[in-house]
Amino acid sequence: MVSRDAFRIPKCRWVFDNGAFTDWKNGQPFDEDKFFRRVERMMDLPDEQKPEWCVCPDRVAHPESLEYSVQWRDRMTNRLNWYLAIQDGMKPEAVEVALKEQPFAGLFIGGSSEWKNAQACEWVRFGHSQGLPVHVGRVNGWKRLQWCVDIDADSVDGTGWTRDPRWIAYLEQMPTKSRMLFGQS
C-alpha cells in the first residue's frame, strides 16, 4: 500500500491509498490537490507499473462517506481500479445501490477500530456476495492478521508490518484459517 503522502512507485505489485485517514487523524480536511497530483502521476505510468487498485476518496468514520465516495468515483478515471471505502454507519442496502451506479472494483474496510471489529466479517461476506474482493485496512499484528484470514478477507495493510521486524517471521509462515469449535468462525 503506497500512501498519497509517502508516494514512491515501487517495483512490485502495489495499491494506492488516498490519504484521507492521515488527513482525518491530523484534523485536516482532505487534501484534494495532493490527491489529484498523485492520480495524474499514476496515469502517466505504463500500464504494467500502475497500481492494482486505488482507494476512492472517503470520509473516515463518517455517516456521509458513501455519498462522498460515489461523487468522487464519478470524477475518477476508469483507467484505474477504484475500491469503495466502507465506513462507520454504512448499510449494505445503500452500498448495493451505489455499486449499481458506479463501477467499484472492490471494497476497502476502513472506519473506526470498534466499528471494524464488530462489522468487518459481515462486510467481507457482503463484498463476496457482490463478486468483489475485500481489503481490510489497519491490520497491525499477527492476531489481527489471523482474524482477517478467518473472516476471509482478500488482503490487508498495516504500517506495523514494516516497522516491527518480529512480525516478518509470522508473515513468512502465512496463516491459514483457525480451526474453531464446531467449525464455526
pLDDT per residue as tens, the chain (185 positions): 888 888 888 888 899 999 999 999 999 999 999 999 999 999 999 999 999 999 999 999 988 999 999 999 999 989 999 999 999 999 999 999 999 999 999 999 999 999 999 999 999 999 999 999 999 999 987 788 889 999 999 999 987 776 777 777 766 776 677 754 444 44
Q: What is the 3-state secondary structure (H, E, C) of 123-173?
A: HHHHHHHCCCCEEECCCCCHHHHHHHHHCCCCEECCCHHHHCHHHHHHHHC
Q: Where are the beta strands (DSSP E) in 2-95?
A: 2-3, 16-17, 54-55, 82-86
Quote the CA–CA distance of 24 and 7 in Å, as a whole number. 18
Q: Which three cell numbers stand for residue 48?
A: 504494467
Architecture of the domain delimited by 55-183: 3-Layer(aba) Sandwich (3.40)
Instruction: Give me the residue label for grid cell 512507485.
Output: 9
State how far the alpha carbon of 18 is from the alpha carbons of 74, 76, 147, in Å: 16, 12, 25
For the record, the C-alpha cell of 126 comes out as: 457482503
Q: pTM for the full model?
A: 0.90
- Tens digit of pLDDT for each residue in 131-184? 999 999 999 877 888 899 999 999 999 877 767 777 777 667 766 777 544 444
Residue ranges of the domains in the chain?
55-183
